[in-house]
Structure 1
Amino acid sequence: MSKAHHRKKQPETVRQQLLDVVARLSLEKGPASVTLDAVSQAAGVSKGGLLHHFPNKLSLLDGLFDDLTEKFERALAGRMRDDPEPKGRFTRAYAAIWFLPEGMADGEQWKVLTVALISEPHLRERWRQWIERHVAENVGTDSSLDAILVRYAVDGLWLADLLGAPTMDTETRGAMLKRLLTLSRT
């Protein structure tokens, strides 16, 4: 009898391992390198095991989207809970998470997902719906023109970071974040 038959099943661990491999392959070799065969081989999981969790490439990308947006939701909720000022709370949490290098622990995976968002209309629509839902939930506190401007500035920085645009030193980045956070309160 093989070791596989004696190995304790850990479906969530295997699922996360597969998502991590998707992100790593995409970063190292580009999104085109993400095939079911390449992912199963790199993860050390049988193709049947992979198909049990993700039946196709789009479901792998959807899984990565779900995983990252769940983590983002938790980070947002924590930041919002710790901010006593209601006006601009969502915008400040959004800025803090995206703007600071240490704000989002899965930054490399977000780069992968951003590339996928650009190339996959289905994922773009899911992100648009996510943003619209949060904007609607915070319409009373985060709908000022200044709050919108802050979120667009943060999105621009996110894209600049992804594209490897000239980097800012830590001091400049911190000063820019401070100015944006101030703007979110107006």
Structure 2
Amino acid sequence: MPKPSARDRILDAYVKFLIDHGPAAVTLEAVAAEAGVSKGGLLYHFGSKDALLDGLLDRVDELTTRDLEEARNAPEGLIRFYLRTSATDASMDNPLHRATLATFRLMGHDPKVLTASKRYEARWREALAEHVDDPLTADLIAVVGDGLYLRGTLGEDSTALLSSLDEVLDRLGAGQRTHP
């Protein structure tokens, strides 16, 4: 695997710093030190803290796009992919999860983070609605996914629920469309 670019290392450091210390502790110097670059090197890629935040939001957007593409092409179908990965991808090894946690830490500090987070969530809701006949059922599936994600983030095990996914979907009356 190729070595991450300086830009990616800086974003990784920003994410780590936000998760570990919160937004109040973020300085360009601290992020640069965490990334192993000079402050000038950081400023070359991100001219300000605001540009660094924009870089993080761009990363979440890119990772969300990839996740949606993978879901749309998943042999198990988008709904099962969504529910399964809501639980299994809540891992610190997952770049989207880490970036999402970092944005959670920023949500109360910058309105554009909340706006961007709502946009990412809306993209998933739209994708679910494309694959479920009933809008209420699509919303219920999204809420179940949100709960699985929260459980996973808290380190709780959802194996039993995931092993009963067909029954869960039957109870929800989730009539998947075969073609969006």
Q: Which runs of 5+ in 2 are unaligned?
A: 176-180
Q: How many residues align?
A: 169
CA distance in 2, matches of 1:119, 1:180: 37
Alignment of 1:142-153 (within 5 A): 142=132, 144-153=135-144
Task: Report the counterpart of residue 103 of structure 2 in structure 1.
Answer: 113
**Structure having the higher Rg:** 1
Task: Report the counterpart of residue 14 of structure 2 in structure 1.
Answer: 22
Alignment of 1:20-169 (within 5 A): 20-83=12-75, 89=78, 91-101=79-89, 105-106=94-95, 107-136=97-126, 139-142=129-132, 144-162=135-153, 164=154, 167-169=155-157
Question: CA 1:68 to 1:38, structure 2 compared with 1: closer, same or farther past 3 Å?
Answer: same
Question: CA 1:112 to 1:60, structure 2 compared with 1: closer, same or farther past 3 Å?
Answer: same
How big is the shift at 1:54? 1.4
CA RMSD of aligned residues (A): 3.0
How big is the shift at 1:49? 1.7
Q: Which runs of 5+ in 1 are unaligned?
A: 1-9
Task: Report the counterpart of residue 178 of structure 2 in structure 1.
Answer: none
Q: Secondary structure at the match of 1:185?
A: coil
Could you report, residue by residue, the CA deviation over 1:18-73 in whole angstroms, capped at 9, with x for unpaired residues? 01101111222222222111111222212222112112223222212221331232
- 1:113 maps to amino acid: T
How big is the shift at 1:74? 1.3
- Identity level (%): 28
- 1:149 maps to amino acid: L
CA distance in 1, matches of 2:26, 2:110: 14
1:174 aligns with 2:165: no
CA distance in 2, matches of 1:96, 1:120: 31
How big is the shift at 1:136? 4.4
Question: CA 1:180 to 1:22, structure 2 compared with 1: closer, same or farther past 3 Å?
Answer: farther
CA distance in 1, matches of 2:158, 2:130: 33
